[in-house]
Structure 1
C-alpha cells in the first residue's frame, strides 16, 4: 500500500516525528520488498543492461553482515501475490504503465529506477545462503508485518508510508535513516550498534492536537492509498478548502496532508469523522461512499495471520490460501519462497503481470518469446483448487482455462487472454504433482524447453537449467540475434562459475589454473564504460533470454526442481554480457578471450556444443550454407532481420569479423577451444 506524499512529509519533519535509536541486540522485522529496492537503487548499480546481480548480491551480503555485527536478528517478510479481492488492480496497472515509461527513458540514457527482472529470485537465494529467516506472505504483507512486530514488540524496517498509520508498539525505522554502512561503538565497549531513526506515532498524533490514533486509518483512506482513489474524494477536498497556493506537486500534497490531519484532530472517533466527510456529498451517494470508506479501514487492522508460527514451527495458516482450497504443499512452498508471486496470482486471480525491462519498445514485448512456457505453467495450475474448479465445471466448458496477462503493447499495457496448455492426465491435478516421479517431472520440463536430456549430460549440474533454457531461447527467439550474443551469454556464465569458485571455495572444487587472471581480465571488460547509446537489438535479445530464464525457473520450481536451481548471482551480469557482446562484435574472438585459462576454454566448449547439438542441424546449417553462397550478403542480412529468426540464424548468422559462417567454419572456430 502507500499514502501519496506522506513519507516525504514526515521525513521533511523528522525532528518532530522521529526518535534517534542505537540498534543492537534486538529482533527486527524487515519489509523485504522495500529492502531489496533500496539496496539496488542506492548502490550505484547499472540499471540499463538487465541487472548486475553479482554487485547486488555483494551489497546484500554487506547489509546482513552489519546486522550480525550488532547482534540484530532480522526476520524478512516478503509480499506474495496481489490482493485476492483485486481492489488494487487499477493501481497495479498504473504502476505497470509507469515502469514502461521508466524503461523507455533508461533506454534513451535518461533517468529512472527500474529493477531487473530476476532481482527477487536473487534476493531470496541470498537469504537462503546466509540462513536469514524469511517468509513470503500469500498476498500483501503490511498487516502481517505489523501484527508480527507487535507480537514480538520489536521495530519494523521499511519505507512504506502505511507504517506511519499502523499503531506499532516499537515503531518503524525508515530505511533512509538506517545507517547500516556507518556502524558506531558504545563508549567503553567493543559493541557495535546501528544509528537509526524510529517513527513515533505518539509524537505524530501529539503534534496534531493530540489526535486519537484511531483516526489515522481515516486519514489514510481519505488521503488516498493504493486501494482507495475515489474521484468523489476530490469533490470533498475542494469543499474543505485544503488546497494551497503552492505550485509544486510536493507542496500541494503536503498541504493536503497537513490540512486533513488538522481537520481530523477535531473529532473523537472514526465514525464521527466519516459522518462529517459524507455530508459534503449528495444525499444519494452518502451511504455507499460511507460503507466503502468504512470497509477500507479494515486494511489497517491487525491481521489474522500469525507469522510467528512460521518462524517457530515452520508453517502458518493463510486464510486466503485455505479458502481457495490450495494443496498444502503449494501453501508451504509459497511461504518458503519456493514459488513466486507470479504463481500465486495465477492460482488466485487467473491473472498475471509481465513486467517490462529496458528493451526495444518498437518490438513486441520480450515476454512473447516465453509464452509457451507460461502456458504449461497455467496448465499445471488450472486444476489447483476445488473452489476454483467448481466455477469452471459449472460453465460446462471443455476448453482450457483462460488466464489474463497484463503486458506491454508498444508503450502502453493491454490485457491478453492466454489459454492454458492441455497436458497429459497425470499432470492435471496440482495436489498430486508432488508425488509424481522425478523422471516424469523432468520429462515435462525438458519437453517444454525443447531439449533432450542427453544434450545436458556433459553440462555441469549448476548450468543444466540455464543451458536448457538457452536451447529453448535459441529455438524461439525473434530479432537480430547474432553469434556473438550467444557467445557473450555463455562466456558470462563461464566467468560466473569461475568467480564462484574463487569467492566461494569449497572442498570439492579447487580454482582452475589461471582462473584469477581470467576473471580479472573480464572485470576490466565490465568496468569499461559501455557505449553511451544502448544497442536496442542486443538489449532486446538479452531481455528475451531473461524472460525465458524467468519462466523456465518458475516452471522448474513448480515441478519441484527436477533440474538443480541455478545461482542467478553467477549466471548473468548485464554490463559484462553487453560489454562482451560489444567486444565480440567488433574484433575480439572467444579464443583470444579464453586462452589464459584452459579450464574456462573447456567449460565454454561444453556449453557451446551443448547448444549446437540441440539445434536441428538440417534446418540450421543447410540454410546458412545456402545463404553463405550468395553474392550480396548485405541484402541477405536485411531480409533476415525482418522475419522470425529462430535458431536457424542464431548460431550461423553473424556480422562480426568472422562474416557468414557455414557449419564447417563454426566447427573450425570452436574446435580451437577443445
Structure 2
C-alpha cells in the first residue's frame, strides 16, 4: 500500500519522531521493503541482471549488525495477490512503470528494476543466517501490525501506511535506521543502532489531539496504492481545507496538511464521514459510504496469529482457510518454499512476469521459459487429455485450464492466455490431485522435472548435486534461446558459476586443502574482470537479452522444482550468477582472450568447468555452436498466440495451445 506524498510530508516535521537507541529487543521487518531498499541504496548493478553475491554481502552485514546489538529480527514477506483483486489496477500500472524503467536502463538512462531472482536470493540468505521469517498468504501489512502489537515491538519498513496503523511500539522508517553507524552505550560495551521512530501520539497531538481512529479515513480519502475514489475529487473541489499558513511547494503536502486539520475537528470517523458525504451528490452518497467503510478496514490488524507460527510453526488464517488449499501447500507458502507466482497462478489464475533490462525490440525473455510455466500450470490446474478435449468441444477455447499472463510486448504490457500442459497419467486426471502431489514418488517427480528440462539423471551425474538444476536449465536455455546462444555465452555463464564455487571454497577452506594459494590467484583474476567498470560501456542488448533468458529459465526451473517438493537440491543462488562478471567474461572470450585457460592452474575448478561443459555438449544438438539456426528452429521460441491483444485487453480470448511434455516443442509451432 502507501499514501502518496505521506513519507515526504512527515519527514518535514521532526516533532513527529522520537529518537531510539535500538538494542536488546525484538523488531518486525517488512521483508519486501528491506530487500528493495538494501539493493537500490547500495549502488549495485541493475543493468547486467544483478550481482547477487554483492547483495548477499550487504544483507549479511545488515543482520550481523542487528545480532551485534542483540536485536532479534523477525521478517514478514508479502505473498500473492489478494483474492479481492482490489490492487490489480495498481499492480498493472507498476508493471508498466518497470517496463519503462527497464527500457531506459537498457539505453544507458536511469531507472530502478530489481534483478529477477532477488526475492529467492533474499529468502536463501534468511534461511542460511537462521533469521526467522514468514511469507503471508497475500499482502503482509496487517499481519505485521498484529505481530508487532502482540510483542509490543517496533516495525522496520518504508511504507507510509504504517503512519496510519496504531502500533504500540511505533514505526521505524528505514531511511532513519542507521545500521551502518552503530554506537556504544556510555558506561558499557553494549552497542545500539541509532534510529528514529514515528510516534502516532505526537502526530495526533500536533493536530489538536486528533482522534487516531480518524486516520484510516484520512488515508482512504487521500488515496493509497489501490484506492482512487472519483467522488473524493468532488469533495476536495468544494471543501475549504484549513492549511493555516502552511506554504510548502508540494501541492500534495498542502492537501495532506489541510485534510488532517479538517478531520481533527470531528470526534470520530462516523461524524467525519457524514460531513464528507454532504459535499457529494445524492446518488453518490450511499455507494461512497460503503466504499469508505470497507476501505478503512484495511487498516485494522489481521486475524493471523504469526507468533504461533514463529513459536510453534503453525500458520493459520481465515483468508487461507477460505481458499481451501491443501495443507502442504499452505505450509510451503508460509515457509517461503513456494513463490507468490505459484499462489497467483493457483488462486487468481493470473501471473505478472517481471520486466528485465533486455532488448525491447525482441519478444520478452520470459517467452523462452514458456513451456516450463505451462507444466507448472498443468500441475496446479490438473488438465487431463479427456478434460481438455471435452472443454474444447464445448467452447472455442479450453479456458478452464488457462492462465492469464501479463508480460512485456515491446514497450507495453500485454495480456496473454496460456493453456496448461497435459501431463503423464501419474500427475493428472482422476488418479491425481494437487492435494497429493507431494506424495508422488521421488523418482517420478524427478523424471518429470528432467524431462521438462530435456536432460537425464545419468547425464547430470557428473555434476555436483547443488549445480545439477542450474546445469539442466542451461541445457534447456541453449536450445530455446532467441537470439541463438553462442559458445562464448555458454562458457561465460559456466565460468561465472565456477567463480561462485571458488568464492565458497575460499570463504570456508577445508583443513589442509591443496592448491589454496593457486585458487586465490585464480579468484583474484576473476575479481579484476568483475571490477572493471563495464557498466560505463553501452549495454550489448542481445547479450543482455540472452542472459536474461537464462535467468527466466532458472526462475521457472526453480519454481517447478519447488512445486515438485525439490527432487533436485535447490542451488545456492547467492553465488550462482554475477551479471557484471558474466558480461565481462563474454567480452573477454569474444575478443580471443581465454579466461577459461586460467582454470588450468586449479585442477578442481578446471574439472568442474569441464564437467559442466561436457554435460551441455552432450545434450545440445551436434555442431550447435557452429551453424546458423534454421528457420524451423527459430519458430520454436516465437510467442505462441495467433494474434496480439491490444492494450484494452480485447475480449476475444486467444489461447496458447496445450502442450504435452512428450512433444516439448509443440507449443512453439503455432504461428504468431
The count of aligned residue pairs is 622
> Secondary structure of 1:572's match?
coil
For residues 470 and 85 of structure 2, the distance between their equivalents in structure 1, rounded to whole angstroms, comes to: 34
For residues 427 and 633 of structure 2, the distance between their equivalents in structure 1, rounded to whole angstroms, comes to: 38
For residues 612 and 242 of structure 2, the distance between their equivalents in structure 1, rounded to whole angstroms, comes to: 63
> Secondary structure of 1:595's match?
helix
Asked if the contact 2:248–2:254 (Cα under 8 Å) also holds between the matched residues in 1, the reply is no
For residues 138 and 197 of structure 2, the distance between their equivalents in structure 1, rounded to whole angstroms, comes to: 26
> Secondary structure of 2:250's match?
helix
Which of 434, 449, 454 aligns to 1:450? It is: 454
Which of 440, 453, 457 aligns to 2:444? It is: 440
1:556 paired with 2:555, answer no
Residue 409 of structure 1 is matched in structure 2 by: 409
TM-score, normalised by the number of residues in structure 1: 0.89
CA RMSD of aligned residues (A): 2.4
Alignment of 1:380-399 (within 5 A): 380-383=379-382
For residues 250 and 242 of structure 2, the distance between their equivalents in structure 1, rounded to whole angstroms, comes to: 10
**Per-residue Cα deviation, 1:444-491 (whole angstroms, up to 9, x for no partner):** 101111112221010111110000101111111111432111110000
Asked if the contact 2:242–2:262 (Cα under 8 Å) also holds between the matched residues in 1, the reply is no
**Per-residue Cα deviation, 1:614-638 (whole angstroms, up to 9, x for no partner):** 1132x738xx4xx5xxxxxxxx79x
Residue 10 of structure 2 is matched in structure 1 by: 10
After TM superposition, give the deviation of residue 509 of structure 1 in Å. 7.7
Residue 479 of structure 1 is matched in structure 2 by: 483
> Secondary structure of 1:426's match?
coil
For residues 556 and 169 of structure 1, the distance between their equivalents in structure 2, rounded to whole angstroms, comes to: 41
Asked if the contact 1:77–1:135 (Cα under 8 Å) also holds between the matched residues in 2, the reply is yes
1:263 paired with 2:268, answer no
Structure 2 stretches of 5 or more lacking a match?
A: 384-390, 638-672
**Per-residue Cα deviation, 1:358-390 (whole angstroms, up to 9, x for no partner):** 111111111010011001111111159xxxxxx
After TM superposition, give the deviation of residue 510 of structure 1 in Å. 7.0
Residue 350 of structure 1 is matched in structure 2 by: 349
> Secondary structure of 2:426's match?
helix
Alignment of 1:595-614 (within 5 A): 595-614=600-619
For residues 320 and 379 of structure 1, the distance between their equivalents in structure 2, rounded to whole angstroms, comes to: 25
**Per-residue Cα deviation, 1:45-66 (whole angstroms, up to 9, x for no partner):** 1111101000000000000000
**Per-residue Cα deviation, 1:514-559 (whole angstroms, up to 9, x for no partner):** 2111110000000001152100000000000000000000000010
After TM superposition, give the deviation of residue 595 of structure 1 in Å. 3.1
After TM superposition, give the deviation of residue 280 of structure 1 in Å. 1.8
1:424 paired with 2:424, answer yes
Go from structure 1 to structure 2 and tell me whether the alpha carbon gap of 1:360 and 1:512 turns closer, same or farther (over 3 Å shift): same
Alignment of 1:278-289 (within 5 A): 278-289=277-288
For residues 175 and 152 of structure 1, the distance between their equivalents in structure 2, rounded to whole angstroms, comes to: 20
Asked if the contact 2:478–2:484 (Cα under 8 Å) also holds between the matched residues in 1, the reply is no
After TM superposition, give the deviation of residue 601 of structure 1 in Å. 1.7
After TM superposition, give the deviation of residue 643 of structure 1 in Å. 4.3
Residue 653 of structure 1 is matched in structure 2 by: none
Which of 541, 548, 555 aligns to 1:543? It is: 548
> Secondary structure of 1:415's match?
strand
> Secondary structure of 1:48's match?
coil
Residue 489 of structure 1 is matched in structure 2 by: 493
Which of 583, 603, 611 aligns to 2:588? It is: 583
Residue 64 of structure 2 is matched in structure 1 by: 65
Go from structure 1 to structure 2 and tell me whether the alpha carbon gap of 1:282 and 1:119 turns closer, same or farther (over 3 Å shift): same
Residue 369 of structure 2 is matched in structure 1 by: 370
**Per-residue Cα deviation, 1:198-234 (whole angstroms, up to 9, x for no partner):** 0000000111111100000000000001221122322
Asked if the contact 1:513–1:597 (Cα under 8 Å) also holds between the matched residues in 2, the reply is no
Residue 34 of structure 1 is matched in structure 2 by: 33
Residue 22 of structure 1 is matched in structure 2 by: 21
**Per-residue Cα deviation, 1:64-110 (whole angstroms, up to 9, x for no partner):** 00000110000000000011110100000010011011111111111
For residues 79 and 512 of structure 2, the distance between their equivalents in structure 1, rounded to whole angstroms, comes to: 37
After TM superposition, give the deviation of residue 256 of structure 1 in Å. 1.1
For residues 330 and 502 of structure 1, the distance between their equivalents in structure 2, rounded to whole angstroms, comes to: 38
For residues 171 and 225 of structure 2, the distance between their equivalents in structure 1, rounded to whole angstroms, comes to: 20
Go from structure 1 to structure 2 and tell me whether the alpha carbon gap of 1:516 and 1:536 turns closer, same or farther (over 3 Å shift): same
For residues 302 and 483 of structure 1, the distance between their equivalents in structure 2, rounded to whole angstroms, comes to: 55
Asked if the contact 2:469–2:568 (Cα under 8 Å) also holds between the matched residues in 1, the reply is yes
Go from structure 1 to structure 2 and tell me whether the alpha carbon gap of 1:499 and 1:254 turns closer, same or farther (over 3 Å shift): same
Residue 79 of structure 1 is matched in structure 2 by: 78
After TM superposition, give the deviation of residue 250 of structure 1 in Å. 7.2
Go from structure 1 to structure 2 and tell me whether the alpha carbon gap of 1:343 and 1:507 turns closer, same or farther (over 3 Å shift): farther
Asked if the contact 2:113–2:355 (Cα under 8 Å) also holds between the matched residues in 1, the reply is no
After TM superposition, give the deviation of residue 645 of structure 1 in Å. 8.9
**Per-residue Cα deviation, 1:328-353 (whole angstroms, up to 9, x for no partner):** 01000000000001011112101111
For residues 231 and 159 of structure 2, the distance between their equivalents in structure 1, rounded to whole angstroms, comes to: 25
For residues 235 and 97 of structure 1, the distance between their equivalents in structure 2, rounded to whole angstroms, comes to: 29
After TM superposition, give the deviation of residue 235 of structure 1 in Å. 2.3
TM-score, normalised by the number of residues in structure 2: 0.89
Residue 95 of structure 1 is matched in structure 2 by: 94
After TM superposition, give the deviation of residue 506 of structure 1 in Å. 5.6
After TM superposition, give the deviation of residue 240 of structure 1 in Å. 2.2
